[in-house]
Amino acid sequence: MIKIFKIFFFSTLMMGTFIVMSAYSWFNMWIGLEINLLSIIPLMKSHLSIYPAEASLKYFIVQALASTIILFSIILMLNSSDYVPTISNFWLMMILNSGLLTKLGAAPFHVWFPEVMEGLNWMNCLILLTWQKIAPMILIMYNLSTLSIINFTIIFSSLIGSLMGLNQTSLRKIMAYSSINHIGWMIAGMLNFKMIWFIYFIIYSLTSINLIILFENLKSYYLPQLLQVLNQNKLIKLFFMMNFFSLGGLPPFLGFLPKWMVINNLISNSFYSLSFILIILTLVTLYYYIRISFSSLTILSIETLIKINFSSMIWFFLNIITLLSLTLCTMIFNYL
């Protein structure tokens, strides 16, 4: 049953993000971030979560620290006598970006993110993976002047997201480190053309929604639980594998489209080394996606009759749309 207070706080959560998107000053943007933070803390209270108090406390402390850093840098910038790009303004912008990247959960400010994810249920994890990224991403988009820290964050996020996900058995931590890797790609996508970030975020959100609805309905939080349940339904196993491949950016699926757009944009603007690093590190993430999928397909596969025990036609329809979109678009454009 949906509680009334959750509807109220979810509305204010969305309102905080819309305030950030439509604000004209840094101070109003900070107010929107604070409304967003104070709205998600009550939403984390759930009897389905393992450690709701611990996760919400960790999230609140980190986000409050990041908000303090952002407000501190905003006050210093407003009190500076000139707005010409001097060394002092460069450091102020770096402090501001550090606070925004901490709110986002990008590496090297990522340590809180998998720990908070581990203590929440899947619906709260979905909010953290998708909606909570919008406001900090938009503020970083406004503030791409310090390219040194931005490029360092892109490379480090891809590195941490790929290597730290290798030895995980918790699905929530795998999704968290995958999200850190995708943060690097999203920031790389907004370097020269902002629309690429929007397309990337929409496709990433659709794929994450597909996977998390599946995990929520199967009540799976760890890999052994998931592999045991997947053997009972071949259709769900097929959709699960395809969504993981799409999340990794394998070419036949929709997840390949935004990565191809990012690589094309980076190479067009002579970011050769950055695009090479992103491609190599994404292969590592694709490795552990394929390892999970192949283990469920071959090693731990138990032959059963095909039966449907997950009656959500909306989920099946959403999967078919997202998985076949790239193929359908290619076929349509060939005949235009």
Quick: pLDDT tens for 27-72. 899 999 999 999 999 998 877 667 888 999 999 999 999 999 999 9
Q: Is residue 290 part of a domain?
A: yes
Predicted TM-score of the model (pTM): 0.91
Tell me the sheet residues that pair with 222: 170
Q: Is residue 96 part of a domain?
A: no
SS3 175: helix
- If one compares 15 and 310, the residue with the highest pLDDT of the two is 15
Q: Is residue 139 part of a domain?
A: yes
**Which domain does 226 fall in, by range?**
122-335
Euclidean distance between CA atoms 159 and 176, whole angstroms: 14
Q: Is residue 113 part of a domain?
A: no
Q: Is residue 127 part of a domain?
A: yes
Q: Is residue 97 part of a domain?
A: no
Low-confidence winner among 18-32, 111-125, 243-257 (lowest mean pLDDT): 243-257
Look at residue 209 in the predicted model and tell me its pLDDT: 93
Average pLDDT value for residue range 322-329: 75
Average pLDDT value for residue range 198-216: 92
Question: What tens digit of pLDDT does each residue of 155-197 get?
Answer: 999 999 999 988 888 999 999 999 999 999 999 999 888 899 9
Give the Å distances, CA to CA, from 45 to 2, 3, 52, 54, 57: 13, 11, 6, 10, 11
DSSP 222: B
Contact partners, residue 167, CB within 8 Å, separation at least 6: none
pLDDT band at 309 (very low <50, low <70, confident <90, very high): low
Place of tokens 């305030």: 19
Q: How many structural domains does the chain have? A: 1
Q: Is residue 251 part of a domain?
A: yes
Q: Is residue 310 part of a domain?
A: yes
Question: What tens digit of pLDDT does each residue of 117-159 get?
Answer: 999 999 999 999 999 999 999 999 988 877 788 899 999 999 9
